[in-house]
Structure 1
């Protein structure tokens, strides 16, 4: 775990000003943590303009500041954000944020990503056009902040321990911010999506079809495809392919299974079809990807014959 701590002097006392940590494990697919920290900013302290590869959430513990963020049309919008509010930065979004000159903010942040993050943020109502977090429940907001602070202060805990607290953070984020009417109105759709994701997670290694997934939900394929894409931003076909490729990459990185066996494990009986799908997704063959990413940086001797 990489951690940086910066300090400054005030009235003869040394006070910690910044905690910044990088999560050491990238093997979490559904929900992954990348970096996290806490900072008490100096007046007019700024960061950006910059773009992130993942979702980055800041919660303001005290003080105030300004967020400048590109909306869905690429137009820069300006938001004034104060304590007990927060803001979400989205992947590839250009942002700049600046602490107030008179009352600079203190915040805690988490950078994360995963297969289900977009659907959760859609439920809350956070988007490129609405990046500011407003809590509707004080108690849940405080629980959310405590989870963020816990993660930032416990960088030496195991990866599974920290991921568990990341799930708790997202639960409190969802329940503290979701509009009650929206929550009730989307309850049935959320149930369908949950059933579909559960079915995919348990059966991706089999030769399942989109009709199979829609059937589990009791829906026709057209309507199922519509609500699935609205919820996750991908068609069911795209999501299933992406899920299989993520699992394949995980197996290539962490195991010594042959390329053919990896393909079988993620639902491809034909090794050639698997290799083609993998290369279309990652730009390189499974064998080359393993050579570059395998945790032991070794490749099975039989792979030259199975690729």
Structure 2
């Protein structure tokens, strides 16, 4: 990112497959207007086509800063965990992560200078999210394991840069998609080599349930998202949580149902629908199995 405070113009042409062909000014810079998001917040974002030898730094950031290289090449100088400056050569299709407080300098190549998209972000969930990847101050370079996911990541960054006038919620939604593609495409090889993939699968399963409990999802859907079969998911889930995936899903739904019963005036049928039960009788039976009373009785007791 340049230290010039300027704003360029970014335009797109879409073909029938909605792939984007960017026509860009040399610099695009935006500041996010709302910092009230806690789990994941966007601060600044943009695009730059650098001049040969263009550099930024040395500098330290208050938040995480990710660059994705669209074309060209350059050099990243970044302090590791011991404060020793390391040198990284980075090319198109790769990227780099700058951590809060990390001193870095990055320099465009003199012959084939890079152009990149960048985003500055932070939040309560970032440390947990990045723990599933290889990223650290000692490993700041983005080496995607999957080209399709890498391209989707770039698409999200491109979209955010092109739509600064969209609502904050709209942009944060696309930032979540970017982070998801980042995690998937840079998942930890150490996690794989240490035979701790079961922890990763369980975390992915719980995240999926938390985000989709209101939909008509099945345990097969959860296992599919994790890339494993239902039998194996059930085995590792029960071993690590003491519950089967089905029990966890039902308990999670009932906790949400109890919140709605206590805090809203929605009908029993609407609450059942809101947590994934289109049949009110099925919802009432499931709720009674967990709480010992019907949803209506529970609401009367907790008014």
TM-score of the pair, normalised by structure 2: 0.59
Change (3 A) 1:187 1:156: farther
Separation in structure 2 between the aligned mates of residue 72 and residue 26 of structure 1, nearest angstrom? 28
Q: Is contact 1:5–1:17 with CA below 8 Å preserved after alignment?
A: no
1:62 has 2:46 as partner: no
1:103 has 2:112 as partner: yes
* Structure 1 residue 27: Cα displacement: 0.6
Decide which of 78, 83, 87 is 2:87's aligned counterpart: 78
1:144 has 2:153 as partner: yes
1:5 has 2:7 as partner: yes
Which residue matches 2:127? 118
Change (3 A) 1:85 1:15: closer
Which residue matches 1:223? none
Question: Rg bigger for which structure?
Answer: 2
Change (3 A) 1:92 1:176: same
1:185 has 2:185 as partner: no
* Structure 1 residue 105: Cα displacement: 0.1
Separation in structure 1 between the aligned mates of residue 55 and residue 190 of structure 2, nearest angstrom? 37
TM-score of the pair, normalised by structure 1: 0.58
Change (3 A) 1:192 1:173: closer
Q: Is contact 1:85–1:133 with CA below 8 Å preserved after alignment?
A: yes
Separation in structure 2 between the aligned mates of residue 20 and residue 5 of structure 1, nearest angstrom? 5
**Aligned-CA RMSD value:** 2.6
Any runs of at least 4 consecutive aligned residues in structure 1 with deviations exceeding 2 A, and if so which? 3-7, 179-196
**Which SS does the other structure have where 2:164 is aligned?**
coil
Which residue matches 1:34? 43
Q: Is contact 1:64–1:80 with CA below 8 Å preserved after alignment?
A: yes
List runs of 5+ in structure 1 lacking aligned partners: 8-13, 200-216, 220-307
Deviation string 1:269-292 (CA, Å, 9 cap, x unpaired) is xxxxxxxxxxxxxxxxxxxxxxxx
Change (3 A) 1:78 1:61: same
Decide which of 53, 63, 72 is 1:44's aligned counterpart: 53
Change (3 A) 1:27 1:99: same
Separation in structure 1 between the aligned mates of residue 70 and residue 184 of structure 2, nearest angstrom? 19
Separation in structure 2 between the aligned mates of residue 49 and residue 107 of structure 1, nearest angstrom? 19
List runs of 5+ in structure 2 lacking aligned partners: 10-22, 211-239, 243-303
1:158 has 2:160 as partner: no
Decide which of 170, 181, 184 is 1:175's aligned counterpart: 184
* Structure 1 residue 69: Cα displacement: 0.3
* Structure 1 residue 48: Cα displacement: 0.2
